[in-house]
Structure 1
């Protein structure tokens, strides 16, 4: 999904005040320092994504109690640091208005980053205008959030340099955090969009993975909504791990979630020795009504091109799953083994058919 940037909305501070009041009720027994409105919606006159960014600041020893309070009392979902140390992301079940909630360690440069950008832009009209212009131009290019954050890194560093509150080493850290690293920007094919998972994908993921037909040849039964939510959280958390060992992307057609493609990348063997080349075990899953239209093949071809090379690719499937074996053959994989009664799944012994391809 493309990033949306809007002209400044004077209602944004009111939205923050409402969110802050809710957070205070959840955190009444937690020892926090402050709840801060940060991000572009906190700067009067600045164009911004219509998402309220909130930093809950606490001393290091009180971080966990704040997180626990939000999870227990507010039903927040803890997402982890997502690649930015000392900034803990939580997903609020209330997204009206949309919001990003972070619990941040007081005094760290990650926390000072948010506060310094806000305060500098509030006091520097010229820099505020320049930043707003950059954001609007990037949004017009139709960038997704991964590419958008990286593309505006230079202007953010300029703002932080103007603030004068960060060392060169800290600025390097901020710049590195804004790079997408091993995360992928949106990939467009003829009919599809492949992108990193976000929490809004839980509904689509559950609609897919709760269908008995879809999980017939998997080791797990149809997923509940709670299981789907936990799985999407894990996918999001894995996207921030470097080197990345679990790559999984949502697949959209005409803006609608229709499936997922993924790979588990293995770089070392059981003895800790580097594998040359690395191995990638692939999987894919699509809504039944999308079968037979070439969407899975189109998505997998695009996905494989993202994994890099050299690499040994593998698709392992139940021989009864004709869709998977035919997919492997369409993608040019070679059948390398068939093991009878390889493992037990859902109270029956299952054969294992393996296809491989070197890229």
Structure 2
């Protein structure tokens, strides 16, 4: 999903006022300091992603009260900090106009970052226009959000140095936070693109996981919208964990979500130094409409290659566990060179049936 940057819209300040008016009744019993319009849409004349960023600034001791009020009274969905300490993220059921809602701790570096960036750009047209050029150039290249954040870090650092709102140490911490780290940018392969999940993927994820066909060999039934929402948020949260042990990625074809692939890392206590000390359990799910096109094979192979490159010290072991009745998954494992490792009859009960477990494994070395 590429970042979209548009020219400044004079309606954005009115959109913020509308959002602020919606939030205020929910916070009437919360001693908040202010509700601020931040981000690029808060800067007149600046090109921006058309999303209104809103900071609800509170003292640290009032964070819990603000979160509770937004969830219970406002019916907002709380996503946690998503890797940025003291910035609490919310999803709003109604996304018109589109918005990001944050509860931020007063005085901390992250809050001063938001305010310093906004205030400096409002008063420095030269920096504002330079920032706009960087953003528009990145968007014109079809840049993914994760890569976009990292790529504009240099100009953001420049603006914040001018603002004088952050110390040298805080600027360095911010620079590191904007690096991809274990998060994925956009991995383009033959016909597909693999990337991290975003809030905007909830509807497409639900379309993928709410079908009987995709739930047939799983221990769960078709996902509800609420379950889909929670799973997308969980994937977003997992992407910020350091060190990372769980990956689930969107698979796109022609800018449309057609599936997902995932891996969970286990550190092995291998006494034999010739044996791998890392294993990844793999999984995948694709829309029935794209079955037979080789998308799953292509995507899983790409995931295996990247994880092998990153974690290969003594070799990496990969595992795919299948319901033997799911012949499509078994064939995929075999196409990728996995070998049958074990077959356990009646391994567990699922949907009133005793289900066998067929495990495929493969040892992969760096090329």
Given the two structures, how large is their TM-score scaled by the length of structure 1? Answer: 0.95
Quote the Cα distance in structure 2 between the aligned partners of 1:331 and 1:187.
19
Quote the Cα distance in structure 2 between the aligned partners of 1:280 and 1:344.
24
Please state if 1:298 is matched with 2:288.
no
Structure 1 residue ranges (4+ consecutive) displaced by more than 6 angstroms after TM superposition: none
Contact 2:269 2:277 in 1 (8 A): no
1:200-236 residue CA offsets vs partner (Å, 9 max, x unmatched): 2221222222212211111112221111111111111
Please state if 1:244 is matched with 2:249.
no
Please state if 1:117 is matched with 2:149.
no
Alignment match, 1:27: 27
Alignment match, 2:331: 326
Alignment match, 1:105: 105
Deviation at 1:276, TM superposition (A): 4.3
Quote the Cα distance in structure 1 between the aligned partners of 2:121 and 2:200.
30
Deviation at 1:293, TM superposition (A): 1.3
Quote the Cα distance in structure 2 between the aligned partners of 1:238 and 1:82.
8
Structure 1: any 5+ residue segments left out of the alignment?
none
Structure 2: any 5+ residue segments left out of the alignment?
none
Deviation at 1:347, TM superposition (A): 2.6
Alignment match, 1:53: 53
Please state if 1:335 is matched with 2:360.
no
1:34-86 residue CA offsets vs partner (Å, 9 max, x unmatched): 00011111111111111111111001111111111111122211111111100
Quote the Cα distance in structure 2 between the aligned partners of 1:217 and 1:353.
12
**Which residue of 305, 316, 321 maps to 2:321?**
316
Deviation at 1:269, TM superposition (A): 5.4
Deviation at 1:237, TM superposition (A): 0.9
Please state if 1:81 is matched with 2:81.
yes
Quote the Cα distance in structure 2 between the aligned partners of 1:178 and 1:46.
21
1:103-140 residue CA offsets vs partner (Å, 9 max, x unmatched): 10111001100000111111111111111111111111
Alignment match, 1:194: 194
Deviation at 1:345, TM superposition (A): 2.2
Quote the Cα distance in structure 2 between the aligned partners of 1:101 and 1:302.
35
Deviates more, 1:129-138 or 1:100-109: 129-138
Given the two structures, how large is their TM-score scaled by the length of structure 2? Answer: 0.93
CA RMSD of aligned residues (A): 1.5
